[in-house]
Amino acid sequence: MGIMIEYWQRIISMTPQQLLAQGIVVIIMLLTAWNGQAKKQNNFILIILIVNILNVVQYALLSAHTASLVTGLCIFRNITFFIYKRKDENKDIPLWILLIFFATIIIASILTWESWISMTAMFGILTFSYGIWQKDIKITKVMSIVSDACWIIHGIYYLAIMDIVKIIIGTSSMLIWFFRESKKEKIKTSN
């Protein structure tokens, strides 16, 4: 019970910087909800690029240094993946690019180690990166949902309340997409 009281006291006593971070997430929420309905992987990656830029600012305002740095690195990942997919949606992104990105994220996470909680950002980004490396948008979205679980834990610790709400909205949007797609597949197979 004491932990909950302490947590609510932290929420009530947020600094203007922390409140600004919550406001930035409102914009991110709109983009995330829209992105959950993306049908093409390249469009999905482009919106994630914009979201990552805003997330870097949000995490910096919350003093979540590992999250801010590794999310900043994701901007380069998204640009690289976007360039590969822009010309041909079915083009394979070389495995070596993914492995270099993984190594960079792991090293950056170790160098900015704050506590075990900062590693949730690393695991979330590694999982999501693997997802967008895949060709299939369904796999991308499933890995995104797994990544979201890591970010929820991270958000609870850093008081990223609006980020948690954003994640729930984005995950819900993707689940709606999955429901619609499975419904379309059932209709196609029954005809």
Tens of pLDDT along 63-103?
888 889 988 998 888 888 878 877 777 778 889 999 999 99
The answer to whether position 41 is within a domain reads yes
Q: What is the pLDDT of residue 153?
A: 93
Would residue 10 count as lying in a domain?
Answer: no
Number of domains making up the chain: 1
Tell me the per-residue pLDDT of 130-161, one tens digit each, with 9 for 90 and over.
998 988 888 988 999 999 999 999 888 888 88
Domain span at residue 136 reads: 17-190
Kindly report, residue by residue over 26-69, the tens digit of the pLDDT: 888 888 777 767 677 777 778 888 888 999 999 899 888 888 99
Q: What is the pLDDT of residues 163-176, one digit of tens each?
A: 888 888 888 888 88
Residue 8 lies in a domain: no
Question: Which residue, among 107, 45, 35, 31, has the nearest Cα to 74 in the 3D structure?
Answer: 45
CB 70 within 8 A of CB 109: yes
Global confidence as pTM: 0.75
